[in-house]
Amino acid sequence: MLAPAVVARRRTRDDEVQDLVALLLDHADPGAGPPPEAARVAETVAVACLGDNHLWQDLQLASRAELSALMRHWFPALVDKNYHDMKWKRFLYKQLCEREEIFICKAPSCAVCADQRVCFGPET
Ligand code: SF4
């Protein structure tokens, strides 16, 4: 169950949720399950992105590994793109920015970025 603050945020940030859902579904594996189920998972992940915690925590999963397994099952093409194992919420928003050709990162690449620890590393 999502936190009340997340549910409330959705009312004002539904465009963002819909962009995230579209991103996820564009990378869905049609063999993973019925389309309505994929849509339900995509919406749940997208709405949880509005939370304040790590995405796996706002999805009430046991660990980041569990979230990665969920992503691999439903959205394997996104897992393939996240080959550097960026934190999932960061990765999804970075994908949205790149789609819009908005580059918010301060550094030319992650390897030389001072914010690397924010985007990568342990999520505990
Ligand atoms: S590490 Fe730096 S360059 Fe890479 S995604 Fe994060 S902010 Fe952007």
Over the stretch 76-119, which tens digit does the pLDDT of each residue have? 999 999 998 899 999 999 998 888 777 777 777 777 788 888 88
State the virtual CA torsion across 73, 17, 62, 117 in degrees, nearest 10: 100
- Across the chain, mean pLDDT equals 90
Q: Does the beta carbon of 119 lie inside 6 Å of ligand 1? A: yes
Closest protein CA for atom 4 of ligand 1: 110
pTM exceeds cut of 0.85: yes
Would you list the domain boundaries of the chain?
4-119
The reply to whether ligand 1 has any atom less than 6 angstroms from the CB of 113 is yes
* Cα–Cα distance measured from residue 112 to residue 84, given in angstroms and rounded to the nearest whole number: 14
Instruction: For residue 25, give both structure tokens.
Output: 């579904």
88-99 and 64-74 are packed helices; what angle lies between their axes, rounded to 10 degrees? 40
